[in-house]
Amino acid sequence: MQIIITLFFLAFTAMADDFKPVTVYTPGMDAVTKSNFDYRIQLGIAKMRGTRVSWSITTNNNHVVYHMHNESTGSNWDVNGWPPSISLPYTCKDANSGIWFYVETDGRHVTAIQPDGTILWSKDPFADSHLALYRTQTPRIAYFTLTDKSINIIFNSSQFGTMDIKTGYFTFQGQN
C-alpha cells in the first residue's frame, strides 16, 4: 500500500507545471540512502516537465562525481559530491606522524598503531560517547577522513564527530 501511494505521489508531482523537489522515503531506507536521495534532488536530477535529463555517476580523486546532460537544451554540468563510504576493514596512515589507523570489520572500533607497531589507543567512539541509537540498530563508521590533528567520522546513522589523533577522544558534533 505504501509503495502504491508513493508511486501515485511521484506521478502526480511529475505532472505539475513547475517541479518542486519533494523528498519521499520508503520504509526501511537507511540513513546513507536517504542522504544520497536528498543530495540527488539538490543536484537538480529531478527535472521540469518536458525536459529529458540523463546522468551518470563516477569517481574522481576519491570523490563521487555526478555528470548531468539536458538533452532538450544541450547543457552539461558536473557536480562533485562526497567521498564514497569506506569498505571495512579500513586502514589509512597519517603522513605527518606515521600512525596507522585501523577501522575494524565491525565498523565500530578504531585502533591507532604507532610506526614501531605498538598500539597507541583502541576506541569505540560510538559507545565511548554514550551515543543513543539513531536511525539504525547497527551504527557503523561510513566515512573516515584524516586532518592535521583529528579524524572526521560519520556513522551510517548520520551521527558525526571528530577523534583526536593522539588520544582517540571522540567529540560528538551532531546528527542529521
Tens-of-pLDDT digits for all 176 residues of the chain?
343 333 333 333 333 333 333 344 445 555 555 555 555 555 555 445 566 777 777 766 666 777 777 777 777 777 766 667 889 999 999 999 999 999 999 999 999 999 999 999 999 999 999 999 999 999 999 999 999 889 999 999 989 999 999 999 999 999 98
Please tell me the distance from the alpha carbon of residue 38 to that of residue 45, in angstroms, as a whole number: 10
The x, y and z cell numbers of residue 6, run together, are 508513493
Name the DSSP letter for residue 3. Answer: H
Residues making up the chain, counted from first to last: 176
CB 105 within 8 A of CB 89: yes
Domains and CATH numbers, the chain: 2-80 (no CATH), 90-175 (2.40.10.480)
Check whether the bond before 83 is cis (ω within 30° of 0): no
Strand pairing report for 110-113 and 119-123? antiparallel
pLDDT value of residue 68: 76
For residue 88, give Cα distances in angstroms to 12, 30, 109, 111. 41, 18, 11, 13
Distance CA 62, CA 143 (A): 12
